[in-house]
Structures are given as structure tokens and as C-alpha cells.
Structure 1
Amino acid sequence: MLIWSILIALAGAFCMALGSALQERDAVRAPGHSVARFGFLLHLAQRPRWLLGTLGAGAGVVLHLVALSGAPLTIIQPIGVTGLIFAIVLSAVFNRRRVRPGQIVAGGAVMVGLAGLLLLFPHTAQTPHMATGTALALAGSVAAVGCAAYAAAHWLPPALRVLLLAAVGGVALGTTSALARVVAANAVVDATAVLSWLTVLCVAVAVFGGLFQQNAYRTGHFAAAYATLLVVDPITGAGIGALLLGEGLPATPLDQALAAGSALLAIAGTVALAVARNRNPEAARHRTGDPAPAGTALSTTSVHSTTTPGDSR
């Protein structure tokens, strides 16, 4: 049973990576600004390939949950992060580019760091509880941070923009996971728990995070976006669990030091992926409504080759 659970977890990681890579293809090609609004999601929802990617990512989540039913969390969670390597390879295949050794090294650093974090944080089986007021404050905080990041992202070059947008997306998705955990755990005892404001907030925060996730893919730095989401999502969920749900943090000084080192390793790998020159070439074209680079002659013969400031990387 354990072997089957491991294989199912690997299949889930591949499906999530494949689904995200398919989504990136349409996110990059969609018309509009470099940092798009909510209408961007409606546009993507009409694209068959993006919908297929969404189904693929959803299938990956389901397979991951199935794997957890037959093996310990400490085995399945680290396997889930192998999706980053799948994502790097799939993105290179779709864009007809070589996978560079530096990408694999950086991806490996993220995987090792994230696996260490997942193993070091305590896991509890107790039923979590969260007051509606606390959930509202939590969702409001995510919205406030997201709005500030959205405004700032317009002024950043792609290598920094991807980290900011994906980090906010990861915070939103981690918050969604925490809220969903509360709803799901309480629904086991009382099925009417799903008919609560926490469920509404869970869906709203998930959609909000999806906007930032797709905008992060839109920068063309897919591997960096995927890595950032993989890192920030569980850290946010664990932080909320420790601060608001009583789930605790690594207890001993050694575990705390190892967790800090794992986090730094994962962050270093993510930054390396962001600054690497492996950007999707389709993302470098000029976006509607963005200012043209300084010194660029605006003529009918050159307008199609202009890029946004910092987008030439």
C-alpha cells in the first residue's frame, strides 16, 4: 500500500505541474496589461487549454489527498514538492527550450528546503476552530496586502514582479488551505459547518489568490512563480495553524534552526530561478496600456517590438 501511495503522490505532483504549465501558456498570451485585473480570469476561463490545466491541477490535488490516505504525511508531503522539477521540464518542453543545469540545481534547493520545512513543522490531529471575526480579519489582511502588492507590481521588472505576485498568491492560497481545513474538519462532526461564512471567505480568498497566481505566470518566469507558490503556501498555512489554530511551531532549538536553514535554502533557490535568463519569450512583448521604454521611437514599424521597462530579460 505504501508503494502505491508514493506512486500516486508522484502522479499527483506531475498533474499539478502539468496543469500549471498549461495555464501559464494562456496566461502569458492573454491580452491586456502586464499586471491584469479580475477580467483576466474571465478571459482565461474561456480558453480550453487553461481549463484543461485547471482540471489537471485539480486532479493533482485529488491524487495527493488519496496518497495521504494510505501513507504518513511525512512521506507524502516531501514527494509533492517534486512537482517543481516536473514544472521546470514541462515549461522548457512547451517553450522549446533547453533545461539548464542551473535551473535543476535551483529547483533542487527549493525542493530540499521545502521538504525540510514540511517535515519539521508539527502535525496535529485535533479539530481546529476559528471564529468568524478572526476569519474576516485574516481575509481582510490578505486583501490589504494584495492590493498594495498589486499597485507596486506595475513598477517592478519581471524578475521582481514574479516573486511579489507569486508570494501574495501563495499567502492567499495558504490562507485558503487554513480556512478549508477548519471547515472540512468541523464538517466531519457537523455537515452544516460547510454552510458558514468561513466557506464564503475560503472561496473569495481562493479566487483572489488565483488572480495573483495567474499574473505571476504571466511574467514568463514560470519556474520562479511555481517555486514561490510551493514555498509560501505551506509556510503561510503552518503560520496560521501555529498562531490561530494552536498547532504549534518546531519545539526544540535544533528544529527551529533547521527550519530556518531550510527556509533560507528554499528562498535562495527561488530567487535563483527568478533571476535566471530562462524567461518565456512570449512574455517580453509590449502589453496594452504599459509605458514604452525610454528612448524608444514610437512608429508603426516599431510598436510591435517594444517591451515594458524591465521586460527585456
Structure 2
Amino acid sequence: MSALTLAVVLSLVSAVAYAGGAILQERVAVSTPERRYAPLRRGAWWVAIALNGLGALLHVVALAYGPLSLVQPLGALTIVFALPMAALFVRRKAGATAWRGAIMATVGLAGLLSLTQSADAQSLNDTERVMTALVTAGAVVALMVVAHAVHRHPVVRSVLLASAAGVAFGIASVFTKTVAVDLDANVSLTHQLPALGVIAVLAAAGVLISQASYRGAGLAAPLSTVTVVNPVVAAAVGLTLFGESFRYGTAGIAVALGFGVVAAGGLILLTTERIGAQQAVAASQAPVAKGGPVAADAVAPGMPADGLRADQIRAAGELRAVPSQPATGSHSHRRVLFRHGREHVGS
């Protein structure tokens, strides 16, 4: 097997491992909604962490055998693998809109990454490391604060948290590259300890925040957001600090922007699809009277105005139209039964 073929195989297996970990994280979030960030007592969550770790390891090994322009776009297939795997293993089927959004996000991300070309190996200096770490911390905290502020909108909250997780993962990759370049340059490991600490903190934060992003938002929207934001943030840092650039000059930049629009459109499609699904569920669960809204004076006293069936409303109107009669003789206990209703009215 050639090195290129091995890189492709490792990248595909890595994407499958990431997809399996995401599915388990989403299922844990559904079954334990009170454990937002770290459901430590759930074995399934630890299996998800192991799968994510395996995916990361395979991705790194794939980079050792294949070029970045090939391995990174293949990693974007995670969301494409996740949808059929979720349908097969946990009976979580995705609609046509979710599939279109996932494919758009994957194609856009793959095209964007394929146009990025690496420059000579470079590392961040001490000032750049401190500034990058501080800006990243500020961005992650800001996204989490905004997500908390919009907690009544689960999908928007999820996308914001997934974006925060993607930022943490992307900058962790940047620091990983920095450490790798320095080690190749025989820089002492002691000098790398702060960077290694940043990697550990960002990786842990990304895992915990991504777990919270799956609560109440399904699988596709948060997973696609993390899958896109992670490499885009890393690529943006590479373009600005590592001297990387797009292929084909100005034309490559224009095409890359087009792919970026496609990826963003896919994320928007996934988000709106999930919001629409939640609104449909809420509408189906809300009690609504047939025939439209009912005037307050059309409802008999003591009966709820919401959720009355049409026949109950008609019966209530008929009851109010009957003049009160004194109780006499054998008819002293007259009783009216609401057809298909829930209560009896007696006098």
C-alpha cells in the first residue's frame, strides 16, 4: 500500500471515529440533559471520548503519510458519515434539508481547504503565543456567554457553543503545529511546557463545550458547526501568522471565498432545518381548537379557553343558551353531558 493510499484510508477511518463519537455524545446529551458538560458517570460518554481521541490520533498519523491538502478535506466527511450512521445505529434519520446542508458544508469546507497551500515550517514567537491564547480565551468565553443568553432558543445556543468548541479545537491545532515545529528545530521541551498546557486546556474545553452543544439541538447542526469552524479557524491563523496562502493567487482567493459561502450556507440550512423541526414539534404538542381561535365569551364558565374541541365549544354555547329552570319534581337533578367532553355540569 502506497503512502498516499494509507493516508486516505487513515483519514476515512478517522472521520468514522469522529462521527461515532459525535453520535454517542448526542445520545448522552439527550438521556442526561442535566449533565451539560461532563457526564462523567456515563460509560457511553467515555467511549465517545475514546473515539474522538482515536480520530485525532489517526488524523495526525494520516498527516505523516499524506499532504495537508488531502487529509484536511477528507476530515470534513465526518458529518456525511454521521448522518447514515445515526440512522443505522440509533434510528435518528435526517431529512432531505439536513442532508443538503451537510453536503453543502462538506463540499464548501473541502474546497476551501484544498486551495490552502503551506509555506515553510514556521512557529509562533512568545508574544504571538500569548496574544493568540488570550484572544482565543476571549472568543470562547464570549460565545459561551451569548449562548447562555439565548438559552430559550436551543438550536441557536447549540450553534454558538459548537462554534466555541470549534475555535478551541482549531487553536489547539495551531499550538500543536507550533510545538511540532519547535521540536524539529531542537527547541527544549521545557520551553514548550506553556504551549503544551494551552493545548491541554483548549482540547479539554473543546470536548466539554461540544458535549453541551448537543443538548436539545440534535446531531447535524452542532457537528457540522464544529467540523467547519475547527479547520477554518486553524487555516485563518495559518494564513495570517504562518505565512500560508491560497493557490492560484487572486483567482484562488475568489474561489476560496465562494467555497466559504457554500459552507456557511450549509450551516445556515442545517440550523434553520433544526429550528423548523422544533417549531413543528412544539406546534403539534400545543393544544389548538379546531376552527381557529375561540372568543372568550363563547366558552362556558370554569372551562379552559385553550384546547377545546369544536364539539365542546358548541355544547358550551348551547348550554349557556338554555335558560335556567327551577328544579322541580322528578326533574330536580337535571344533568347535561358534554358530548366527548371531560366534565359534567349539574344543577
TM-score, with normalisation over the residues of structure 1? 0.79
Among candidates 185, 189, 209, match of residue 185 of structure 2 = 189
Among candidates 43, 52, 56, match of residue 48 of structure 1 = 43
Contact 1:127-1:185 within 8 A present in 2 as well: yes
Residue 20 of structure 1 is matched in structure 2 by 22
The percent identity for this pair of structures is 29
1:227 aligned partner, one-letter code: S
Mapped to 2, the partners of 1:279 and 1:217 lie a distance apart of 17
The structure whose Rg is larger is: 2
Contact 1:114-1:262 within 8 A present in 2 as well: yes
Contact 2:69-2:115 within 8 A present in 1 as well: no
Mapped to 1, the partners of 2:94 and 2:185 lie a distance apart of 48
Summarize deviations over 1:257-299 as a string: whole Å, max 9, x none: 1111101101111111122249999xx99xxxxxxxxxxxxxx
Residue 11 of structure 1 is matched in structure 2 by 13
Number of equivalenced pairs: 276
- Pair 1:241-2:238 in alignment: yes
Contact 1:162-1:221 within 8 A present in 2 as well: no
| CA apart distance, 1:251 | 6.2
Residue 173 of structure 1 is matched in structure 2 by 169
- Pair 1:267-2:269 in alignment: no
**Taking structure 1 as reference, are residues 203 and 279 closer, same or farther at Cα in structure 2, changes over 3 Å only?**
farther
| CA apart distance, 1:227 | 0.8
Among candidates 34, 39, 54, match of residue 32 of structure 1 = 34
Mapped to 2, the partners of 1:197 and 1:124 lie a distance apart of 25
Among candidates 90, 101, 107, match of residue 106 of structure 1 = 101
- Pair 1:148-2:142 in alignment: yes
**Taking structure 1 as reference, are residues 75 and 147 closer, same or farther at Cα in structure 2, changes over 3 Å only?**
closer
**Taking structure 1 as reference, are residues 148 and 76 closer, same or farther at Cα in structure 2, changes over 3 Å only?**
closer
Structure 1: gaps of 5 or more residues: 286-313
- Pair 1:138-2:132 in alignment: yes
Residue 77 of structure 1 is matched in structure 2 by 72
Mapped to 2, the partners of 1:82 and 1:63 lie a distance apart of 14
Mapped to 1, the partners of 2:105 and 2:147 lie a distance apart of 24
Contact 1:23-1:50 within 8 A present in 2 as well: yes
Contact 2:23-2:86 within 8 A present in 1 as well: yes
TM-score, with normalisation over the residues of structure 2? 0.72
Among candidates 210, 213, 221, match of residue 218 of structure 2 = 221
Structure 2: gaps of 5 or more residues: 283-347
Among candidates 205, 210, 214, match of residue 207 of structure 2 = 210
Specify which structure has the bigger relative contact order, considering alpha-carbon pairs within 8 angstroms and separated by 6 or more residues: 1
Residue 301 of structure 2 is matched in structure 1 by none
